[in-house]
Structure 1
Amino acid sequence: MVETTKNINSSPQKGKKLLEQFRDNIRLKQYSYRTEKTYIEWVREYILFHNKRHPREMGVTEINQFITHLVVDRKASASTQNQAISAILFLYRNTLHIELDQSSLNFIRPKKGKRVPNVLSIKEVRAVITNMTGQYKLMTQIMYGSGLRLMECLRLRVKDIDFENHRIIVYDGKGGDDRVTMLPDSIIAPIRQHLAQTKATHQKDLAAGLGSVQMPFALDKKYPAAHQQWIWQFVFPAPTLYTEPETGITRRHHIHETAIQKAIRVAAKTAKIEKRVTPHTFRHSFATHLLQNGYDIRTVQELLGHKDVKTTMIYTHVLQRGANAVKSPLDP
């Protein structure tokens, strides 16, 4: 271990267990809660794989063994391997303050293979949405009409819907960036009606001494009363309350992603769509249909929140006539 690592600050946070220190460091970096949970799970698996040895007693040899296990035994995908690698390296650098000699790591970060996104036609999109009701229908309309990712839709708060300017503001999207996208005129009235019902539920929670919502980053310290304010509530709140184990506070979170995933699967099956349809399919369809309608690819890039236009370019390969509108030689 000595020859493969360099200890740049060996003093750990006193009085806290390793995973608690790890969680604190993730929050200091303002990573999303989803990333926090994923990273903690990977570090826990890494420790258990090595029979609960402390990571400080391990190094590149043990990391290589764990990643090899993921590849060979668990047949982990490229994205899964990358998650595990990122979590473990974060642990060593930011919590244990050990700088690994990465030249001694014998794995290469796997690259994801290129995949053509699964896209529905406009007719198919409408068929699926027609077979949905209530808030799940509204969520699907937002993902298709505004190009939101599933978790971006779930994490929408009341303040993020700008009715006056017909726009949705997406805060802390993938990569930590904010962006603005359109709010379709056709769903303004349904959203207003939905929010009226949601507000009634929130007022009942407040009357019962509840009404708290988890605040992003450290805003609960900056604005101590904001967690009960209407504007900070989730647009699509969960039907049940939960008690936060760390604080003991009872809150209302957003709907779980599995609920909308199931609703879309059922609607697609009812509509007899013979394709794999997921929430992300509607974001893919949003981008493809905009390009089909002649919108500039840079505009679509901004609406999707892609940092590189190359990512957006993938949708040119699923247009009705293929990339660059090439006509097949088989057609007359």
Structure 2
Amino acid sequence: MRAPLQFVLDFFTGGDPVQPKSVTPTAQPSGLSVSPTDRAADRSTDRSSPAVEQGLPGDAQVPVPSGFTHPTANRHAQLQDVVVSYRFERSRRKSIGFMVGADGLVVRAPNWVTLREVDAAVQEKGPWIVAKLQQFKERQTEQFQKAIEWRHGAEVPFLGRTVQLCVLERGVGRVHGQDIAPDQILPVTVPPGASVTQVRDAAQVWLKKQAKALFEQRLHHFAPLLGVRWLKLSLSSASTRWGSARNDGHIRLNWRLIHLPISQIDYVVVHELAHLREMNHSPRFWETVGEVMPDYAQRRKALRQAPVDLAQD
């Protein structure tokens, strides 16, 4: 039985929707895709490089595996089963250079270096590149986790605003801070003398419950507008993606979206539901998104700039 197709919305989303390149079908995603400018410049030495994105009969396309994507990526490499979309630039350097920053990977090479040589260097450097990208994400995650002190009275981002963490120890009989309005409280119940980790875990249980209820409500709202049917919702704790959709109607949404404003949550919901009609990022996909969300580009930009970093549990 053929496995369902899946498309994901990566954390490193960026850039404006672009026309997908026409590529030759192959059996499995592999190799590299080349920007039109570089393809023309190195046509004589780079003809054999297969593209990551592959065609299927008709207009459907196989989605690339999740990975790391630079906002202005113009080349892609599959490194250790991870697709890394990176920014490639020509420069006056004397050798090929690699830089990992907040946006992802940037590769620079002098004009006399062919794309084939660049591809080989990226593959050779693959383990280092993937490790550095993951380390960068983990550092961002640690910074976000440290930003919240999981103690009574802490402020926790929730739907674009903040709620106050109110801790009830079992047996005490009341929630500290009960004079605060209920919709401004994140209540948790923990054992006497609970650690910060226990308080955090209890708070995340509450946040996940709120997230699932809200996500289901938004899916029910937008699915009829798009003329699609979703069959299952799962909460995700992925470290590099906001959501994913499979063509069998299974939607996965990162529970940490609950920290963000509803406008950004709705964008992710619509994005994933639109994949139930178009399992790609073709112009027709973005037209589908725009049918119910004409301002999706602004919401997409806001999501890219969101201060919430995805973190692994």
Higher helix share: 1
Normalised by the size of structure 1, how large is the TM-score? 0.30
For the pair shown, the structure with the greater C-alpha radius of gyration is 1
